[in-house]
Amino acid sequence: MGFKLPLKEMEDIAERDDAALDQLKKRLMGAAAVILVFFGIIVLRLWTLQINSGKEYAQRAYSNRVREREVAAPRGHILDRKGKEIVTNRPSFNVVLIKEDSTNLGDVLTRLSPVLKMDVSELWEKIRKSAGSPKYLPVRLKEDIDWKTLAYLENHNHEFSGIRTEVQPVRVYHYGNLAANTLGYLGIISKKELEKADQKIYKGSDLIGKAGLEKLRERDLRGEKGIYFSEVNARGFEQQLLKSVEPLPGREIHLTLDVELQQIAESYMEAGEKSGAVVAMEVNTGRLLTVVSSPSIRIEDFIGGISVKNWKALLENPKHPLINKVVQASYPPGSTYKMVTALAGLAKGVIDEDTVFYCPGHYRFGNRTYRCWKHSGHGPVNLKKAISQSCDVYFYQVGQRVGVDGLAEFARKLGLGKKTGVEMEHEKSGLVPTKEWKLRVKKKKWQEGETLSIAIGQGFDLVTPLQMCVMTATIANGGKVYRPQLVEKVVDPEGNIVENFKPEIVNELVGLDRFFKLIREGMEEVVQGKRGTARRVAIKNLRIGGKTGTAQVVKIAQYRHLKEANIPYRYRDHAWFTCFAPAEKPEIAVTVLVEHGLHGGSGAGPIARAVLKEYFYNRLHNKEVSEEQ
C-alpha cells in the first residue's frame, strides 16, 4: 500500500488530544441513549399493534385474504310426465369486476374493451350503476361470454386485475317455446321483489321466477346457493379454496304435461296463426296433458331480461301473447253450455230422455222471437238430437223451465263460475249469472228472456277454456270434478319425492250417472252422427263425444248477413270445441278455443282431432294392424 495522499493535517493526528477524545466519547453515551429511546418507541409500537390490537388486526388480516363468494345453485329441472327434459340449465360465464381487487381500473378497462367487444364508456356505465354496492361484490360487465373469450381471459388473467369470470347456470329450453306461458320465465329480481323476499336468500342481481310455474314453484326450483370461502392475494386472484358450502340444486318438477301432445297442439295453433287455447286433461285424474295458449311468448326474449322494446311489442300485440288464455281469458261458452242446460233439465225433472220439443226455427217468448241457428228448424227434437244438432229452440224451452238460478246451480256443480284451483297465475273465475248477481252487480232486475240466452251459452256467461275442459271431463267421468293438476311430483336432488300428485276431487255429483250417460250419447252423435256438427272430427276406430260452440263476440246486425270471410277479424265469433274419448270408456278430455275462429267444428275441431290422434296413436295403429291380419 504505497499510495498516500499528502494531507498536511495527518501530522496533527499523531498528537492525540486526549481531552477532546474523552469529550467525544462522552457524547457517545448520548448516542447510546438515543438508540435505546428509539428501541423503546419501536417496542411500544409493536406492543400496541400486536398485543393491544392483535385481535383486531388478525380479523382484518382474515377479511383481507378471505373472500366469501356466493355460487348460484342450478335451478331445478322441469320434466314432462315421461321424464323428458323440458327446461334444464347450462353454465353461463359472466365477466365481473371486483372493485376492491382492481388496480389501474382505467387501463384494465381499455384492454378489456376489445376482448369483450364493448365500448369503454359502456363498461364504465355498468360500474357507475353499481356505485352504491360494496366494493367486494362483483359487478357484472358482460354475461354469457363465448368459450374463446373465456379462454383468453383465463390465460391472461394477470393483465386484468380485479376482473374475474363467474359461472352462473342459465335456463335451457329444450323444446323452445313449449308451454312457455305456463312454465313462465326468469328475470333479475326487482327492487320491489327484493324488499318482500327473504334477504338471506336473495341478493341484488339474482334471478327469480317472474311468471308461470317458475314463479309459483320458485321455492322448489331455486335450490340453495353455495358459499365459497377462498383465499385471494392482493391482486384479487384466488389462491386456494379454504372451505365451501356446495350449492344445493333446485328440485325437479315433473309435470303432468305430455311433450308430444303439447307439441302437436301448439304446432296446429301456430300453423293456422290461431289465437286461443288448447287444454287436454285426463278424465279420471285431472292431470293436464296439454295447456296451450296461443300465440305464446317467445322464451328467448326473456333470457337475461327482456328489452323494453320487446316488452312493449308484447303488450301492444292484439293477440295478447302475454295472457295465458287457458285460465286468464274467459269467453261466452256458446253451445258448449247446452250440456249444463241439459243436465239441469234432466236433474230437475223438467225433461227426460224422450221429451220432445218442436223446433220451427224460432221460439216466441214474451213479446220477442228467439231464433234457432237453423232458420228452417229442426222439427221434433229430443235430447240426443238437440245436443247433436245443437238445437237452440230445445234449450230455450229447457232453460225457461229450469230458470236462471237452476242453470247456475248446475253450472257451478260442474265447476263453472269459480276458479279451478290449477297451479297457474291470475286464473279467472268466469261468470255464472244468477238473479241475485244481476241485482247486485248490474243493479237491475232479471229479465226472464235473458234466461233463454243463458241457456244456450250467450249473454252474461263466461268460462275459461280450462273450466270447459274440467266440465267436459266431469261429464265424461260421470260426475267427478277434479282439480286440474299441472305438477305430478317434486323430486329433491337426492331423489326423494317431496310432493306427490294425488287426484283431487273438488266436487262430486252423485246419482246423476243416468243423465250424464244421456248427455254423453248426445255428444257422441255430435261427432259420429250423420248430422252432427262436428262430423269432420271423427277418427276411424275411435268413438269421440264432443260439442261445438260459437261464441258471439258482438251482436251487430250489420255483420249477420255478410259472408264470414268478409266480417272483420276482430268481430268474428270465437270457435269452441270440447270433447272426450274414447266414448265407451272416456280417458281424455280436450277443449279447444280459437278466438275469432267462427265455427267450432271447422275452426277448433281439427286441433282437438290432432291431439286425440296423437294420444291414441299407438292404440289406433295396433288396431289397424290387427284388422289387416
Partner 1 sequence: MIKIDRRLFENFDIILMLFICLVCTMALFNLYSASYPPKAYGTPAYIRQSYFFLMGFGVFLFLISFDYQELHSWNYPFYVLIVALLIFVYFAGAKAGGAQRWINLGFFKLQPSEPAKLMLVITLASFYSRKEVVDGYSITQLVIPVLLTALPFLLILLQPDLGTALMLGIIFVSMTVFVKLRMSTYLTMGGLALVLGVFAWEKVLKPYQKQRIQTLFSPDNDPMGHGYQVLQSKIAIGSGGKFGKGYLEGTQGHLHFLPERHTDFAFAVWGEEWGFAGSLIFLGIYFMMLLWGIHVAMEAKDRFGVLLAYGVVMLIFWQAVINLLMILGFLPVVGIPLPLVSYGGSSLLTTMLGLGILMNVRMRRFQNLQPEP
Pick one of 24, 167, 313, 441: the residue that binds partner 1 (CB under 8 A): 24
In the complex with partner 1, the residue whose CB is nearer, 159 or 436, is 159
Q: Does 65 bind partner 1 (CB under 8 A)?
A: yes
CB 463 within 8 A of CB 335: no
Pairwise CA distance, residues 323 & 488, whole Å: 24
CB 327 within 8 A of CB 569: no
Minimal distance in Å, beta carbon 24 to partner 1? 5
Q: Any idea which residue has 232486475 for its cell? A: 445
Binding mask 203-232 for partner 1 (x = CB under 8 A): ----------------------------xx
CB 217 within 8 A of CB 246: no
In the complex with partner 1, the residue whose CB is nearer, 52 or 267, is 52
- Strands 78-79 and 252-255 come out as parallel
If we measure between CA atoms, which residue out of 292, 343, 349 comes closest to residue 321? 292
From the number of C-beta atoms within 10 Å of its C-beta (0-12, 13-18, 19+), residue 540 rates as exposed
Among the listed ranges 58-66, 377-385, 490-498, 587-595, the one in contact with partner 1 (CB under 8 A) is: 58-66
Among the listed ranges 3-11, 166-174, 207-215, 275-283, the one in contact with partner 1 (CB under 8 A) is: 3-11
Minimal distance in Å, beta carbon 53 to partner 1? 5
Minimal distance in Å, beta carbon 116 to partner 1? 24
In the complex with partner 1, the residue whose CB is nearer, 15 or 195, is 15
User: Up-side HSE of residue 373: CA atoms within 13 Å toward CB?
Assistant: 18
CB 68 within 8 A of CB 243: no
What are the CA-CA distances from residue 333 to residues 186, 299, 412, 466 (Å)? 34, 31, 14, 12
- Any idea what DSSP says for residue 103? S
If we measure between CA atoms, which residue out of 325, 149, 165 comes closest to residue 236? 165
Q: Any idea which residue has 381471459 for its cell? A: 153
Minimal distance in Å, beta carbon 242 to partner 1? 11
Q: Does 1 bind partner 1 (CB under 8 A)?
A: yes
Q: Does 41 bind partner 1 (CB under 8 A)?
A: yes
Question: SS3 for 67?
Answer: strand
Q: Does 13 bind partner 1 (CB under 8 A)?
A: yes
In the complex with partner 1, the residue whose CB is nearer, 9 or 273, is 9
Pairwise CA distance, residues 29 & 26, whole Å: 6
Site for partner 1, residues 238 to 267, rule: CB under 8 A: 239
Question: Binding residues for partner 1, how many (CB under 8 A)?
Answer: 51
CB 179 within 8 A of CB 280: no
Q: Helix (H) and strand (E) counts for the chain? A: 23, 23
Pairwise CA distance, residues 306 & 415, whole Å: 37
Minimal distance in Å, beta carbon 205 to partner 1? 24
Catalytic residue among 335, 388, 390, 602: 335
Q: Does 5 bind partner 1 (CB under 8 A)?
A: yes
Pick one of 82, 90, 219, 235: the residue that binds partner 1 (CB under 8 A): 235
Pairwise CA distance, residues 607 & 508, whole Å: 30
Q: Does 32 bind partner 1 (CB under 8 A)?
A: yes
Minimal distance in Å, beta carbon 152 to partner 1? 22
Radius of gyration of the chain (CA): 39
Pick one of 23, 110, 190, 307: the residue that binds partner 1 (CB under 8 A): 23
335 catalytic, yes or no?
yes
Minimal distance in Å, beta carbon 204 to partner 1? 23
Site for partner 1, residues 476 to 505, rule: CB under 8 A: none
Q: Does 158 bind partner 1 (CB under 8 A)?
A: no
- Longest CA–CA separation in the chain, Å: 155
In the complex with partner 1, the residue whose CB is nearer, 8 or 309, is 8
Instruction: List the catalytic residues.
Output: 335
Question: Rule CB under 8 A: which residues touch partner 1?
Answer: 1, 3-5, 7, 9-10, 12-13, 16-17, 20-21, 23-25, 27-28, 31-32, 35-36, 38-39, 41-43, 45-47, 49-51, 53-58, 60-62, 64-65, 103, 231-235, 239
